[in-house]
Copies of this chain bind each other. A is one copy, B any other.
Amino acid sequence: MTRRDALWSALASAAASTQSVSSFSHIEKWSVFEAQFPGPSSGTPYIDIEFGADFQFEHRKVSVDGFYDGDGVYRVRFMPDSEGEWLFTTRSNRPELHGKTGRFLCVPPAKGNHGPVAVRSTWHFGYADGTPYLPFGTTCYAWTHQGDSLEEQTLNTLQQSPFNKIRMCVFPKSYAFNRNEPPAYAFARTADSNDYTHVNPIFFQRLEKRVTQLMQAGIQADLILFHPYDRWGYSNMGAENDDRYLRYVVARLAAYRNVWWSMANEWDFVKTKTLSDWDRFFRIVQQSDPYGRLRSIHNGAVLYDHGKTWVTHASIQGDDFDKIPGWLDAYRKPVVIDECKYEGNIQQRWGNLSAREMTRRFWIGTLAGVYVGHGETYMNDQDVLWWSKGGVLHGESAPRIAFLRKLLESNAPGGLTPMSKPYYPAAMKTGEYYLSYFDYHQPVTNQFELPDGASFRADVIDPWNMKITPVDGLQQGKVQSKLPGKPYMAVQFRKA
């Protein structure tokens, strides 16, 4: 019997012999434990009532904030990261919410639960359980503000797609192709006026439902906390309301293992905030979130300084891929180009890349050592464009992105290291895997230099037609390879 099994067995016996079953539940590691307590419902609990809990595992204590969920209900959520018994005690400025205790048993994760994603090996990511994670993200800014029918269609599309991350806004969006009212507002609302002293729990419950569904589908929720495309007032609440909102969101959502924090979409386009506001937001999120979830901020025209300590990875809008080596050097963090324009056909210049160009950008960026994000903006009769509302995919790049994802997960699950020497985009898993992409070049032959002392199997890859054609025999050292003489081909060498 291992130490873990022994502990579990002991705790299970303890559970059977106690009466306080209400708070003694079995919680999967890296899943959400939640406890709720009755408390005041009058006045302005969102403003006045402090509530949280300290969770204890052996000698370690983790303090988390709770939140008011309406109707006199106060909740605290927690994601345990160690198997065994956890105890907790609430704390509050109201006696009826203070000093409540409880416990739960953290049991091993179920299949498919790999824990949260964090930075690994400087420029890459990985799950907490050691499972590789290569982000292949997409963007549906306002998909959780469309009503159940469309939202469920979006979820269904995502589950069939290659995307394992989605950029999405907490607040609704007002923009071209986005003129509809959301099903709920974040705060009590009368006519066109928000009451920032009363949060609307329904708004956040809707969001949490979708985040949970994404979690179950293995999709990271890159939650965008502020953005400029607003007609309701959420981009201009004032510093005090901004900060309280941030703490509230973190209290509600940090326990979901698939949450990433994005301070903003296009931070520099939010004219109501200064650079020091964004710095402060980062610090608030960093201090409030006991799990250290990934933190980033997405630019409009001007990059935020992703070198700042509270930024875990660069989230970049841009398509000047020549800057990638500079970014990797400067930040020494993962770089995610999560907006390199969109596949589509709309008039807006950022929304009409051909599918081939989007596919090409995934290849160019991937081989340069960054992670590229997808988005789609095709006109359609329903006026539902994926990039914002979700719905279904109309384009042709997604299957090619799936092909690329599978290629990397099979061959370089820890991420690729870009190779600076070759002329063509090329990257490797040192000593084991080498991948070159020829872009608009169409050589009939090319020389590769494989590392000494190993043999490799070579394949010619057609990224658009998603075909892998093995080359006969084993390759060693300086190899002169035959190529198809067509543009947009790739070659891989896998250690035999």
Interface positions of A (Cβ within 8 A of B): 344-349, 352-354, 356-357, 379, 423-424, 438, 440-447, 485-487
Q: Distance in Å from the Cβ of A437 to the closest Cβ of chain B?
A: 13
A356 to B354, CA, bound (A): 15
For this chain, the copies found in one complex come to: 2
Known A-B contacts: A346-B443, A346-B445. Give 10 more (CB < 8 A). Answer: A347-B443, A347-B444, A347-B445, A348-B443, A349-B423, A349-B443, A353-B442, A354-B486, A357-B487, A379-B444
A444, B345: Cβ atoms under 8 Å?
Answer: yes
Question: A424's contact among B349, B441, B487, by CB below 8 Å, is which?
Answer: B349
A356 to B441, CA, bound (A): 10
User: 7 interchain pairs (CB within 8 A)?
Assistant: A345-B443, A347-B446, A349-B443, A352-B438, A353-B440, A356-B487, A357-B440
A440 to B351, CA, bound (A): 11
A445 to B440, CA, bound (A): 27
A353, B441: Cβ atoms under 8 Å?
Answer: yes
Residue of A352, A444, A446, A447 contacting most chain B CB atoms (<10 Å): A352
A444 to B442, CA, bound (A): 30
A442, B352: Cβ atoms under 8 Å?
Answer: yes
Q: Distance in Å from the Cβ of A436 to the closest Cβ of chain B?
A: 12
A445 to B378, CA, bound (A): 12
A440, B345: Cβ atoms under 8 Å?
Answer: no
A356, B440: Cβ atoms under 8 Å?
Answer: yes
Q: Distance in Å from the Cβ of A421 to the closest Cβ of chain B?
A: 12
A447 to B442, CA, bound (A): 36
Q: Which residues of chain B have C-beta atoms less than 8 A from A354's C-beta?
A: 440-442, 486-487
The 9 lowest CB-CB distance pairs between A and B, nearest first, are: A357-B440, A354-B487, A352-B443, A349-B423, A345-B485, A352-B441, A345-B444, A347-B445, A354-B442
Q: Distance in Å from the Cβ of A189 to the closest Cβ of chain B?
A: 36
Chain B minimum-CB-distance residue to A354: B487
B349, A442: Cβ atoms under 8 Å?
Answer: no
A357 to B488, CA, bound (A): 11
Q: Which residues of chain B have C-beta atoms less than 8 A from A438's C-beta?
A: 352
Q: Distance in Å from the Cβ of A179 to the closest Cβ of chain B?
A: 18
